[in-house]
Amino acid sequence: MSPRVVVTVLHRFRGAVVAGTLAGVLTVAGAVVPAGAATAALPDPRPGGTSILGRTWTPGHDPGDLTVLVNKAHPVTPERWAPDDLVRPDVPALGEHDRLRAEAARALERLAADAQDATGHELVLASGFRSADYQRRLYARYVDAHGRRAADTFSARPGYSEHQTGLAADVAEAGTPYTDFGRTRTGRWVDAHAWRYGFVVRYPEGRQSVTGYSPEPWHLRYVGTGLTVPMHLAGTTTLEEAFGAAPAPDYAPPK
């Protein structure tokens, strides 16, 4: 194990110490965030000593930003934008949508390896990057099958999908439908530990009035540990709340 020398204590919160270390590892509430998952530095406190836990981050507007906010009120702009650093993570995939942006792919590899070590089950990538054109076809199929009102609770309209950023990953436990992910050992482990790798479970239980979508324990969004660590400590579960953005339960009516 690499030596860890604490050089800065940023905040003490409910008995937990958040610290930076020379080894590039974060110690949070007595648990060590894996070195590979801690490459992003924690944000500095605001001038005057305001705690990082009371900080609101400003979302990126460029779809290339790791912290871009994409929801029913914030579409991907330009509409057909696509990342230029897509790679295939070394994680088994269920279909052709098997690419993520490079940083998210590396983080998913670490999460998948540790999840398998902890649960004995393999984590697989069900869906990564999806183009705006593919999302248009997918959404249309859901509307045809279920109607627009129902489709809008579980599928993004074209131009409004996080998958288009290359930072969203739908995951599953091998041999289990991804829609059952929350009931699997891997799903429960990921729900508890995704933040250590820079991911948030984007559509958590009980937050549809904020996110606009029914719970999806399989849908992970990469934003980096610089945001997920303080979100975890503060008990903040949605990006809307972390960014101080208004809830987006539905699309704005056409003008």
In angstroms, the CA 25 to CA 5 distance is: 9
Using DSSP, state whether 115 is helix, strand or coil: helix
Task: Reply yes or no on whether 103 is catalytic.
Answer: no
Q: 103, 162, 216, 240: which one is catalytic? A: 216
In angstroms, the CA 232 to CA 235 distance is: 5
89, with CB counted inside 10 A (0-12, 13-18, 19+), is buried
CA angle 80, 106, 223 (to 5 degrees): 60
Beta strands per DSSP E along the chain: 6-13, 16-21, 26-28, 31-33, 86-87, 100-101, 123-127, 168-173, 199-203, 216-222
**Residue positions annotated with a catalytic role:** 216
